[in-house]
């Protein structure tokens, strides 16, 4: 008897970050007051026709390219017909026959092992109305109707929950990095349906679909409990039914929603109101150009530059900072330390974005260069940070000013000697072993140098001077 | 006369979400069968190209700019809605989910 | 009562310009005639008080001298959305539906200061060939009130034939402008697919539907077409065309024109009295320097089958929005969602519509979509290519518009296939997206009109009006 193998395929719906809806020219924004971002097309009033959002198509294309898909250059839509009150036209406009992208992949890494997860297809479609329910009535809000969506359908290539979670993390990263979607699972702008099957052979077992799971870690737990459930069923001699289930977070188990009707009859046919739209090669190239360097490529650049892996992940997690580092040609280790350290602290404190400050990329490059050449030290950097961030003063001038206020080692020696001899009490205390004394003396020296001196140097000189006493 | 079965009529009526009274079933059994026999002729037509003509449109499709938007007040739309409750459209309770 | 309405549009315009009459005179005459002929049942909804008010306001303005349609009354088929004027599609489903927006054609009509008199009767949701499927009762043929008007634009046709208004808009999915025009002896044009915006036209079959003018003569038809065409960003199937004057070739001769008559159009499906009229037209054409050839065309005899599949398939989807949720009728038996759907659609739709939706749903379900729908679209493509081939050699394709003259109103409605067969000669035009025009070419012994069908290549409407006007003069 062999072991059971789990196979997982995932369908992900993501809302596109557009200003207006996909096939309606009303605002793409829901969650506020009901039925305000609507017009007659949302309500499918008799005689209305769809109009297609060009930017939505572009985002769909961008996602397909970023997921390594083959592009269907002739963009066409189909109608998926079914009756439900949240579907005003009685059909959803989608891409059933010729999705914008097919045969793509995402590369994941789990426990050091790399693996490609196939993307069966990615297609563009529209969301439905939001409904709320009371005892005998339901209430419809049309604001969400027509919100642009892409559905990304994976191949059943994942073999466990870790791979599935890595796949989702990677997908999310890519869609965030390409500005296609917010990917906020908790707000519903990214939704996952998970298909799980188990089998002892290479032939796939009967799969179940677990719908609308609220977070990536829940997806992991749902896969684990669902595959265990299926194994138990099979072990008890039962068969698995093709059915839709939901994941109960609290009970940590999946619960049957409904057995699948034999072949849902959606009566698909080509949408006659939207003639084919041709994606020109030049346009596809333009969109390719717009795709920024994706996370994995960035990781590789950082790794080769010698940045520690903990900092690499910090950079990837902070796209704004990572973007700021793009095309940076200086010392990436110093640069990333500055950005993740003092600069991030400053940005967090002030609530600013790096783009809102006066620290242009050019200025930043000069700064890193000066640090790299040891023209300035960290201490000076800390002291000129605010000036760098909040003024348009030339960086060379800032550094010059700082330096002119600073002391050579010889000058410092003289100063240290003077401070020590004018504070005999502190010398006594130092000799009596009181640490406070050295701190006090350091403070006095730093005060005189207006903080421009390297504290390590001052400390050494002070120790030497005290030793002579 | 050739007819659809009663079950076939009810299945098609359900697909179309149209209630069929018992008294009408017989009529539909005959009429639908006549129409379906008509369209069945299509199976015998030989056509060389498999290219589908979805719409006779031949011009280039021009899409809408994302920033072009317009809204209509719900108060206007509401006039034709059979049942509303506040700012919502009201329907019998939806089951399913 | 005056008889200004019997004057031609340029003559009426002259009277406006010279302050001999005002729009109010004309509008009052319209309503007078409509009331006198109320038994024709041309209108579902009249726009009387608003039309009179607007006419009065217009009368206080300066006449637009370069706008021949200024102040001219027009009737609009009741499947075209008119803001604040009830638009029913001749269905119980929309009995109380008052649109909140104007169709793009209606905006254009208004911007040219035409006066909307009312909404004309039709087959329910334009499904039918006699206008008898109307929830509001059938309109009558003004030539003989015991006869059908044809359909689905029967109300608009009767309105023109009965001289109630000089202009009307109809819609044509499978002959619904041309066939009633033929039965009532008027001029009706279905323009090239995409010429006229469909925004606001309540869809029956999206890839076939087109709005077009219905008028007393060719020239006025071209005048009205001038004002309703154009690319509309609200309708992706509408096309950008250079602005043109469709009357510009009217009055030119037809010497050297090459005309094809498909043998199928003169086969034994067409009654003899009609073939005879067509023969007479052929004589006129030949004696005036046109070449006429009888040709074979593939697929023409399959058009009805294609139409049934494509039109019913699309209709089953287009009419899904009538579900009792957002507008229109909702059954009082609506305790659950499923009951609401089934009862609303059972009570709200008439039997022709229900039958077509059911068949359409079936044709798209499961594997059928491939077996029927895809196959139909493949043949449709072949049919279009067949037309393209003919138009490489010929300027026009001619034939009769209908196989018989208008038949009796009380003829049975029982055969569900009859309504499709009435359109057998005009459907191919919709399949290929071509323009098609009906002009009267005579009458039979009972004085029932017989129509000539002129088919042009895409965007060739101006040339069609040229030959149509030429024949109109010769046939007087």
Q: Nearest by CB to C317, which of A40, A49, A81?
A: A81
Percent of chain A at pLDDT above 70? 97
d(CA A391, CA A394): 9
Q: Nearest by CB to B66, which of A19, A139, A270?
A: A19
Check which CATH number belongs to the domain holding C372 and give it. Answer: 3.90.1300.10
d(CA A123, CA A106): 16
pLDDT of C420: 87
Of residues C190, C142, C193, the one with CA closest to residue C169: C190
The residue-averaged pLDDT of A143-168 equals: 97
Cβ contact (<8 Å) for A138 and B91?
yes
pLDDT for C100 beyond 70: yes
Cβ contact (<8 Å) for A44 and C99?
no
Summarised one tens digit per residue, pLDDT across range C18-77 is 999 999 999 999 999 999 999 999 999 999 999 999 999 999 999 999 999 999 999 999
Kind and range of the H or E element at C44? strand C43-46
- Which chain B positions have a beta carbon within 8 Å of A54's beta carbon? 63-66
The residue-averaged pLDDT of A79-100 equals: 97
Query: Choosing among C198, C317, C330, which should be mutated to test the A contact, i.e. which has the most A CBs within 10 A?
Result: C317
Cβ contact (<8 Å) for B85 and A137?
yes
pLDDT of A262: 56
- Which chain B positions have a beta carbon within 8 Å of A148's beta carbon? none
Residue B31 lies in a domain: yes
- Which chain A positions have a beta carbon within 8 Å of B65's beta carbon? 54-55
Of residues A387, A397, A405, A399, the one with CA closest to residue A453: A405
Please give the distance of CA A26 from its chain centroid, rounded to a whole number: 27
How many domains does the structure of chain B reveal?
1
- Which chain B positions have a beta carbon within 8 Å of C317's beta carbon? none
- Higher local confidence (pLDDT), A362 or A123: A123
Which domains, from first to last, does chain A contain? 5-282 (no CATH), 293-404 (no CATH), 409-468 (1.10.10.410)
pLDDT of A261: 60
**Contact call for residues C286 and C460 (beta carbons, < 8 A):** no
Summarised one tens digit per residue, pLDDT across range A196-220 is 999 999 899 999 999 989 899 999 9
Kind and range of the H or E element at C294? strand C291-295
- Which chain B positions have a beta carbon within 8 Å of C329's beta carbon? 82
d(CA C27, CA A18): 49
Cβ contact (<8 Å) for A38 and B71?
yes
> Could you tell me if the ipTM is greater than 0.95?
yes
pLDDT of A427: 85
Q: Which of A382-396, C42-56, C174-188, C259-273 has the lowest mean pLDDT?
A: A382-396
Of residues C43, C70, C66, C38, the one with CA closest to residue C54: C70
Percent of chain A at pLDDT above 90? 61
pLDDT of A403: 66
pLDDT for B97 beyond 50: no
Give the range of the structural domain holding residue C87, as residue numbers without chain letter. Answer: 1-476
pLDDT of B96: 53
Q: Cα torsion for C26, C30, C36, C40, to the nearest 10°?
A: 160
Q: Is A26 on the interface with B (CB under 8 A)?
A: yes
pLDDT of A437: 84
Burial of C383 (0-12, 13-18, 19+ CB in 10 A): buried
Summarised one tens digit per residue, pLDDT across range C114-136 is 999 999 999 999 999 999 999 99
d(CA A22, CA A124): 9
Pair type for strands A137-141 and A130-133:
antiparallel
Number of C-beta neighbours around residue C344 at 10 A:
26
DSSP-derived letter for residue C63 is P
Only one residue has tokens 């539907």, namely: C209
Q: Nearest by CB to A25, which of B15, B68, B93?
A: B68
- Which chain B positions have a beta carbon within 8 Å of A38's beta carbon? 71-72, 74, 77
pLDDT for A450 beyond 90: no
Q: What is the radius of gyration, based on Cα positions, of chain B? A: 23
Residue B12 lies in a domain: yes
pLDDT for C90 beyond 70: yes
Active site residue C176: yes
Q: How many angstroms separate the CA of residue C357 from the nearest CA in chain B?
A: 6
Residue B24 lies in a domain: yes
Active site residue C77: yes
Summarised one tens digit per residue, pLDDT across range C403-413 is 999 999 999 87
Summarised one tens digit per residue, pLDDT across range A323-365 is 899 888 889 999 999 999 989 999 989 988 888 899 888 889 9
Per annotation, catalytic residue among C81, C129, C152, C153: C152
Pair type for strands A243-248 and A208-213:
parallel
Cβ contact (<8 Å) for B80 and A141?
no
pTM of this structure: 0.90
The residues, ordered by sequence, that sit 6+ positions from C349 with a Cβ below 8 Å of its Cβ are B18, C91, C92, C93, C124, C125, C319, C322, C357
Cβ contact (<8 Å) for B80 and C97?
yes
The residue-averaged pLDDT of A391-420 equals: 79
Percent of chain C at pLDDT above 70? 100
Q: How many angstroms separate the CA of residue A360 from the nearest CA in chain B?
A: 30
Give the range of the structural domain holding residue B25, as residue numbers without chain letter. Answer: 6-43
Active site residue C8: no
pLDDT for A451 beyond 70: no
Q: Is B59 on the interface with C (CB under 8 A)?
A: yes
How many domains does the structure of chain C reveal?
1
Burial of A136 (0-12, 13-18, 19+ CB in 10 A): exposed
pLDDT for A260 beyond 80: no
Q: Nearest by CB to C346, which of B19, B55, B89?
A: B19
pLDDT for B85 beyond 70: yes
Q: Nearest by CB to A137, which of B17, B68, B90?
A: B90
The residue-averaged pLDDT of A289-305 equals: 89
């Amino acid at each position: 008897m062999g072991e059971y193998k789990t196979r997982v395929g995932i369908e992900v719906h993501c809302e596109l970050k557009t200003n207006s809806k996909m096939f309606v020219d009303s605002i793409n924004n829901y969650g506020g007051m009901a039925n305000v971002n609507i017009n007659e097309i949302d309500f499918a009033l008799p005689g209305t026709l769809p109009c297609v959002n060009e930017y939505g198509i572009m985002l769909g294309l961008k996602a397909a390219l970023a997921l390594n898909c083959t592009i269907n250059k002739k963009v066409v839509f189909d109608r998926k017909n079914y009756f439900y009150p949240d579907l005003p036209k009685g059909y959803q406009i989608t891409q059933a026959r010729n999705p914008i992208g097919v045969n793509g992949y995402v590369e994941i890494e789990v426990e050091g092992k790399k693996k490609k997860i196939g993307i069966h297809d990615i297609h563009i479609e529209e969301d439905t109305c939001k409904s709320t329910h009371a005892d005998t009535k339901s209430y419809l809000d049309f604001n969400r109707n027509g919100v642009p969506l892409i559905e990304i359908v994976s191949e059943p290539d994942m073999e466990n929950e870790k791979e599935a979670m890595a796949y989702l993390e990677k997908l999310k990263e890519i869609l965030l990095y390409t500005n296609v979607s917010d990917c906020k699972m908790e707000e519903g702008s990214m939704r996952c349906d998970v298909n799980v099957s188990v089998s002892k052979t290479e032939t796939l077992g009967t799969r179940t679909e677990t719908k609308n799971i609220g977070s990536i870690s829940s997806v992991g737990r749902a896969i684990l409990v669902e595959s265990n459930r299926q194994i138990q069923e099979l072990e008890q001699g039962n068969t698995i039914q093709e059915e839709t289930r939901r994941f109960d977070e609290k009970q940590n188990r999946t619960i049957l929603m409904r057995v699948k009707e034999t072949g849902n009859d959606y009566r698909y046919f080509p949408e006659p109101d939207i003639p084919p739209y041709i994606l020109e090669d030049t346009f596809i190239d333009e969109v390719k150009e717009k795709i920024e360097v994706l996370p994995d490529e960035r990781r590789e650049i950082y790794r080769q530059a010698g940045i520690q892996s903990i900092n690499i992940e910090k950079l990837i997690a902070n796209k704004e900072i990572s973007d700021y580092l793009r095309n940076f040609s200086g010392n990436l280790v110093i640069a990333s330390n500055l950005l993740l350290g003092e600069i991030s602290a400053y940005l967090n404190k002030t609530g600013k974005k790096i783009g809102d400050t006066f620290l242009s990329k050019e200025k930043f490059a000069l700064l890193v260069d000066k640090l790299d050449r040891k023209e300035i030290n960290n201490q000076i950097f800390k002291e000129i940070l605010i000036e760098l961030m909040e003024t348009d003063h030339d960086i060379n001038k800032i550094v010059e000013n700082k330096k002119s206020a600073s002391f050579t080692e010889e000058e410092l020696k003289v100063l240290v000697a003077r401070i020590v001899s004018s504070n005999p009490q502190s010398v006594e205390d130092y000799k009596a072993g009181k640490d406070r004394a050295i701190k006090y003396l350091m403070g006095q020296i730093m005060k005189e140098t207006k903080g421009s001196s390297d504290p390590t140097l001052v400390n050494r000189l002070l120790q030497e001077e005290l030793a002579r006493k | 006369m050739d007819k659809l079965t009663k079950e076939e009529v009810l299945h098609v009526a359900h697909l179309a979400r149209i209630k069929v009274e018992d008294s009408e079933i017989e009529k539909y059994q005959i009429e639908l069968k006549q129409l379906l026999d008509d369209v069945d002729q299509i199976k015998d037509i030989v056509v060389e190209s498999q290219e589908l003509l979805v719409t006779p449109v031949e011009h280039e499709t021009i899409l809408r700019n994302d920033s072009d938007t317009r809204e209509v007040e719900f108060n206007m739309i509401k006039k034709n809605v059979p049942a509303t409750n506040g700012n919502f459209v009201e329907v019998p309770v939806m089951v399913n989910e | 009562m005056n008889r200004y309405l019997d004057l031609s549009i340029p003559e009426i315009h002259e009277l406006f310009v010279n302050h001999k009459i005002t729009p109010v005179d004309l509008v009052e005459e319209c309503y007078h005639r409509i009331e006198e002929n109320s038994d024709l049942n041309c209108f579902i909804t009249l726009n009387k008080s608003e039309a009179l008010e607007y006419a009065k306001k217009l009368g206080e303005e300066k006449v637009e001298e370069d706008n021949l349609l200024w102040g001219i009354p027009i009737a609009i088929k009741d499947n075209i959305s008119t803001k604040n004027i009830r638009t029913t599609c001749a269905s119980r489903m929309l009995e109380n539906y008052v649109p909140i927006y104007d169709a793009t054609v209606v905006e254009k009509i208004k911007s040219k200061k035409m006066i909307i008199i009312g909404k004309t009767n039709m087959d329910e949701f334009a499904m039918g060939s006699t206008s008898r499927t109307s929830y509001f009762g059938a309109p009558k043929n003004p030539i003989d009130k015991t006869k059908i008007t044809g359909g689905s634009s029967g109300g608009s046709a009767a309105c023109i034939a009965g001289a109630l208004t000089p202009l009307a808009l109809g819609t044509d999915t499978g002959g619904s402008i041309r066939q009633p025009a033929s039965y009532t002896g008027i001029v009706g044009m279905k323009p090239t697919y995409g010429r006229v915006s469909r925004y606001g036209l309540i869809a029956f079959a999206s890839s076939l539907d087109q709005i077009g003018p219905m008028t007393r003569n060719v020239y006025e038809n071209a005048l009205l077409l001038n004002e309703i065409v154009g690319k509309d960003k609200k309708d992706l199937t509408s096309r950008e065309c250079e602005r043109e004057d469709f009357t510009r070739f009217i009055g030119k001769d037809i010497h050297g024109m090459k005309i094809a008559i498909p043998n199928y159009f003169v086969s034994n499906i067409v009654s003899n009295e009609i073939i005879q009229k067509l023969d007479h037209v052929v004589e006129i054409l030949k004696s005036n320097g046109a070449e006429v050839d009888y040709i074979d065309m593939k697929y023409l005899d399959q058009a009805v089958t294609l139409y049934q599949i494509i039109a019913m398939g699309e209709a089953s989807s287009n009419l899904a929005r009538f579900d009792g949720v957002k507008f229109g009728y909702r059954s009082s038996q609506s305790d659950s969602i499923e009951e609401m759907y089934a009862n609303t659609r059972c009570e709200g739709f008439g039997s022709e519509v229900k039958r077509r939706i059911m068949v359409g749903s079936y044709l798209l379900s499961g594997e059928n979509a491939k077996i029927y729908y895809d196959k139909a679209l493949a043949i449709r493509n072949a049919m279009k290519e067949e037309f393209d081939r003919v138009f490489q050699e010929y300027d026009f394709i001619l034939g009769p518009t209908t196989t018989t003259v208008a038949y009796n109103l009380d003829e049975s409605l029982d055969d569900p296939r009859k309504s499709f067969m009435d359109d057998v000669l005009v459907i191919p035009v919709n399949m290929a997206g071509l323009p098609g025009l009906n002009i009267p070419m005579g009458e039979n012994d009972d004085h029932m009109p017989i129509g000539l069908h002129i088919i042009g290549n895409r965007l060739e409407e101006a040339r069609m009006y040229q030959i149509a006007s030429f024949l109109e003069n010769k046939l007087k």
